[in-house]
Amino acid sequence: MASGWCTIESDPGVFSELITELGVKGVQVHELWSLDKESMAEVGPVHGLIFLFRWRGEKDDRATVTPGPGVFFASQMIPNACATQAILSVLMNCPSISLGEEMTAFKAFTKDFPPDVKGLAISNSDLLRRVHNSFARAEPTVSEERRASKEEDEVYHFISYVPVDGKLYELDGLKAGPICLGDAGPGEAWLDAVTPAIQARIEQYS
């Protein structure tokens, strides 16, 4: 497993620059303070949603599914890479996004890999690690594993919500597979379907 992945800032501007540095074109990250339709409409077409929450290590009994051929799902193999991995979960699952030469090649290369090998491919990618680390925080890095060992510390985790092939998925690299939340509906109808799931998460961690 590769080492040397730093903690990066949880900032939409940083995430947008990271995406650009990967060679992806025409994609920006916006911070949402509300899940209402007006807020969604203001940011234009929504390819996916990333949810940041305080990780508590609580048991989740929801069933996971085996990723279908159209679903990019990777196990998280690197403690500090969950933000970049959540971004990849959106980018790799939206066919309309122009990924650029290197990320298109990466997607094709990992297409038939199982989730754990996809995760290893991410951890071993020089491009992903270099771009990720270029946005490292200024303060000394402490791995999430060490932080998790201290009960008083707060550890945060990113997960993604994306529509793929007519279904709505929650993608969390710490789980065994995607969680299917039901039908996504046509166009951006999936945003209506995902709202209750995210709202439940907010209430759970508030």
- Determine the Cα–Cα distance for residues 30 and 166; give it in Å rounded to an integer: 24
> Which H/E stretch holds residue 149?
none
- Determine the Cα–Cα distance for residues 125 and 6; give it in Å rounded to an integer: 14
Structure tokens at 73: 């799902």
Q: Interhelix angle for 100-110 vs 115-123, to 10°?
A: 140
Amino acid 28 reads Q
Residues with catalytic function: 82, 157
Place of tokens 């807020």: 39
- Determine the Cα–Cα distance for residues 16 and 29; give it in Å rounded to an integer: 5
Locate all alpha helices (DSSP H) within the chain, ordered by sequence: 12-21, 37-42, 82-91, 100-110, 115-123, 126-133, 144-148, 190-205
